[in-house]
């Protein structure tokens, strides 16, 4: 029996482990693999036991081990290759870049593109020259140059906080101005929330079609982002429940009102369902 087999057997013998009480056996195996990777007992590049051999060692079916390896792969822990087996992946490093949605290569528009659809840009009908001329005229006015050339710097201690608290107030909810952090824009606010609520390597759930900046920010911060399926209202509650039950995410990012890019508005009933699932699984 290999060392990892012995650890996995110990995890299964303790009622599927303290972190996932009453979880399916394949989830307990995936959790044990994740713990071994995080603690350095499974090094990047190390090969896991063949599925049939591990199933024999643990006294479970091959299908159980197969589902565990698949779940570990979806968590970004391992990678399986036909003919080579399943190997441990190196942890995702903050600052890594890709070619997916939100990357510079994705947003770069070829000059010959008549109507770019992959980014939310207007059709080129001569507005660039008009905007450039208007901006030049404005910037020639010294009094306006500094106030219009940057984001507004919010007052973190006084009137702005009180105004924000009044705006957020709703029946049964009153915001404390002292608990509000005012930001200069949506991207700064999103990154601030991401850094406060999660740690490097944490899993963040999001919509299959979503605001592209969250992809970039998760890569920069070393967080893993998993898309969830959508219907006409937004995230499907059953998919969220399944992801929470099997993958232990830390946070959920979604846009319930005028969702970007679909424009969908989530009903109050769906919002309540999503909130209940998030609360049950301690999701930020």
- Per-residue HEC secondary structure of the chain comes to CCHHHHHHHHHHHCCCCCCCCCCCHHHHHHHHHHHHHHCCCCCCCCECCCHHHHHHHHCCCHHHHHHHHHHHHHCCCEEEECCCEEEECCCCCCCCCCCCCCCHHHHCCCCCCCCCCCCCCCCCCCHHHHHHHHHHHHHCCHHHHHHHCCCCCCCCCCHHHHHHHHHHCECCECCCHHHCCCCCCHHHHHHHHHHHHCCCCCEEEEECCCCCHHHHHHHHHCCEEEEECECCCCECHHHHHHHHHHHCCCEEECCCCCCCCCCCCCCHHHHHHHHHHHHHCCCC
How far is it, in rounded angstroms, from Cα 204 to Cα 193? 12
Does 37 sit behind a cis peptide bond, omega within 30 degrees of 0 on the bond before it?
A: no
Residue 143: half-sphere exposure toward Cβ, Cα within 13 Å? 0
pLDDT tens, residue by residue, 18-44: 444 456 888 888 888 888 888 888 889
> Edge-to-edge strand order for the sheet containing 203-207?
224-228, 203-207, 251-253
pLDDT class of 244 with cuts at 50, 70, 90:
very high
How far is it, in rounded angstroms, from Cα 95 to Cα 73? 21
In this structure, whether the domain defined by 3-88 belongs to CATH 3.40.50.970 is answered with: no
How far is it, in rounded angstroms, from Cα 254 to Cα 133? 38
CA 208 vs. chain centroid, Å, equals 11
The confidence score (pLDDT) of residue 71 equals 86
The confidence score (pLDDT) of residue 220 equals 87
> Is 79:73 a contact under the CB 8 Å cutoff?
yes
pLDDT class of 14 with cuts at 50, 70, 90:
low
Mean pLDDT of the chain: 81
How far is it, in rounded angstroms, from Cα 64 to Cα 50? 13
Residue that has been written with the tokens 């049964």 in this structure = 172
Locate the domains of the chain by residue range.
3-88, 178-280
Q: Is the pLDDT of residue 207 over 90?
A: yes
The confidence score (pLDDT) of residue 115 equals 61
pLDDT class of 267 with cuts at 50, 70, 90:
very high
pTM over 0.75: no
**Which of 91-105, 209-223, 230-244, 252-266 shows the lowest mean pLDDT across its residues?**
91-105
- The CATH number that domain 178-280 falls under is 3.40.640.10
Sign of the C-alpha dihedral computed for residues 33, 39, 41 and 44 taken in this order: positive
Q: Is the pLDDT of residue 156 over 80?
A: no
Give 11 or 17, the one with higher predicted confidence: 11
pLDDT tens, residue by residue, 64-111: 999 899 888 888 888 888 888 899 988 764 444 444 444 444 555 565
Average pLDDT in the 155-172 region?
A: 81
Q: Is the pLDDT of residue 273 over 90?
A: yes
Whole-angstrom CA distances from 283 to 37, 151, 212, 252, 275 are 23, 31, 21, 7, 9
The confidence score (pLDDT) of residue 90 equals 83
pLDDT class of 11 with cuts at 50, 70, 90:
low
How far is it, in rounded angstroms, from Cα 3 to Cα 6? 5
Q: How many other C-beta atoms lie within 10 A of the C-beta of residue 207? A: 23
Q: State the pairing for strand pair 78-81/85-88.
A: antiparallel
């Amino acid at each position: 029996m290999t060392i990892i087999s012995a650890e996995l057997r110990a995890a299964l013998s303790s009622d599927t482990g303290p972190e996932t009480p009453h979880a399916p056996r394949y989830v307990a195996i995936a959790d044990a693999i994740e713990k071994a990777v995080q603690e350095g007992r499974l090094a990047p590049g190390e090969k896991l036991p063949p599925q049939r051999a591990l199933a024999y060692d643990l006294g479970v079916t091959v299908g159980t081990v197969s589902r565990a390896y698949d779940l570990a792969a979806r968590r970004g822990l391992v990678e399986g290759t036909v003919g080579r087996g399943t190997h441990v992946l190196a942890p995702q490093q903050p600052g890594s870049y890709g070619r997916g949605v939100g990357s510079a290569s994705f947003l770069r528009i070829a000059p010959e593109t008549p109507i770019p659809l992959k980014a939310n840009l207007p059709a080129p009908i001569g507005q660039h020259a008009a905007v450039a001329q208007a901006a030049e005229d404005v910037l020639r006015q010294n009094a306006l140059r500094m106030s219009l050339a940057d984001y507004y710097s919010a007052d973190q201690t006084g009137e702005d906080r009180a105004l924000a608290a009044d705006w957020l107030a709703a029946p049964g909810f009153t915001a404390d101005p002292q608990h509000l952090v005012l930001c200069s824009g949506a991207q700064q606010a999103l990154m601030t929330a991401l850094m406060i609520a999660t740690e490097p390597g944490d899993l963040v759930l999001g919509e299959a079609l979503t605001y592209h900046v969250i992809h970039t920010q998760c890569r920069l911060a070393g967080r893993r982002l998993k898309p969830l399926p959508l219907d006409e209202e937004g995230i499907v509650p059953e998919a969220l429940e399944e992801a929470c039950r099997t993958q232990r995410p830390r946070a959920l990012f979604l846009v319930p009102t005028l969702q970007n890019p679909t424009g969908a508005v989530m009903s109050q009933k769906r919002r309540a369902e999503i909130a209940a699932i998030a609360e049950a699984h301690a999701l930020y």
